């Protein structure tokens, strides 16, 4: 079986790793203590604290498993180590939306790193998929959830993650 690697920036990787560490060192031990305290109150069949703590345990363990899986398949790519004019993972792309003459800037990041309000879009989003392989000066027609849009690629850069705002 071939494991499908998923691109991720160093910052995205560090955030997930920090979250996993907090789960293991803070949240799981706190949850274990909460279960023990609730169990000490007696009859578990009518103990709301116990039921809540056990429910939280399931959520915490599920997130721990999810984070472990994401980190295991991560292919960490530092955009600052990339260069060129072709759009790919890690590129910061300045676009002119030809439908409304608005300029937008997107950075193509991993699936779990996207923050649209900060201009970071997932590499698997419709816009990113439509931009992959394009160069500055290209006109691109992309079908988005809001309908077809036409962009002109104004600029392609590969910026260090710590320069992203």
Asked if residue 93 and residue 28 are part of one domain, the reply reads no
Q: What is the pLDDT of residue 38?
A: 85
Asked if residue 83 and residue 72 are part of one domain, the reply reads no
Q: pLDDT in tens for each of the 165 residues of the chain?
A: 777 899 999 999 999 999 999 999 999 999 999 999 888 877 777 788 889 999 999 999 999 999 999 999 999 999 988 888 899 999 999 999 998 999 999 999 999 999 989 999 999 999 999 999 999 999 999 998 888 999 999 999 998 877 765
Q: What is the pLDDT of residue 132?
A: 95
Domain-terminating residue out of 56, 76, 96: 76
Q: What is the pLDDT of residue 160?
A: 83
Q: What is the pTM of this model?
A: 0.84
Domain assignment present for 164: no
CA dist., res. 151 & res. 101, Å (int): 9
Asked if residue 120 and residue 94 are part of one domain, the reply reads yes
Asked if residue 64 and residue 115 are part of one domain, the reply reads no
Q: Where are the beta strands (DSSP E) in the chain?
A: 6-8, 74-76, 92-97, 102-109, 120-122, 139-144, 147-157
CATH of the domain at 33: 1.10.287.180
CA dist., res. 114 & res. 108, Å (int): 8
Asked if residue 117 and residue 152 are part of one domain, the reply reads yes
CA dist., res. 50 & res. 39, Å (int): 6
Domain count, the chain: 2
Residues contacting 73, CB < 8 A, separation 6+: 3, 4, 5, 6
Asked if residue 154 and residue 85 are part of one domain, the reply reads yes
Q: What is the pLDDT of residue 3?
A: 77
Give me the half-sphere count of Cα atoms (radius 13 Å) on the Cβ side of residue 144. Answer: 13
Range of the domain at 13: 6-76
CB atoms within 10 A of CB 20: 17
Domain-terminating residue out of 24, 41, 76: 76
Q: What is the pLDDT of residue 39?
A: 84
Domain-terminating residue out of 48, 76, 104: 76
Asked if residue 98 and residue 59 are part of one domain, the reply reads no
Asked if residue 65 and residue 116 are part of one domain, the reply reads no
Asked if residue 59 and residue 14 are part of one domain, the reply reads yes
Asked if residue 83 and residue 68 are part of one domain, the reply reads no
CA dist., res. 36 & res. 34, Å (int): 5
């Amino acid at each position: 079986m071939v494991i499908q690697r998923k691109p991720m920036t160093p910052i995205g990787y560090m955030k997930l790793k920090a979250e996993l560490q907090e789960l293991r060192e803070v949240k799981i031990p706190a949850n274990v203590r909460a279960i023990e305290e609730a169990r000490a109150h007696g009859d578990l069949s009518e103990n709301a604290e116990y039921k809540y703590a056990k429910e939280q345990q399931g959520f915490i363990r599920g997130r721990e498993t999810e984070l472990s899986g994401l980190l295991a398949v991560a292919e960490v790519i530092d955009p600052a180590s990339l260069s060129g004019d072709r759009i790919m993972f890690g590129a910061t792309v300045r676009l002119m939306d030809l439908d409304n003459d608005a300029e937008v800037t997107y950075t193509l990041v991993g699936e779990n790193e996207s923050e649209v309000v900060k201009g970071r879009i997932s590499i698997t989003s419709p816009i990113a998929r439509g931009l992959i392989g394009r160069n500055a000066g290209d006109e691109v027609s992309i079908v988005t959830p809001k309908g077809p849009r036409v962009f002109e690629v104004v600029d392609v850069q590969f910026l260090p993650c710590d320069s992203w705002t």
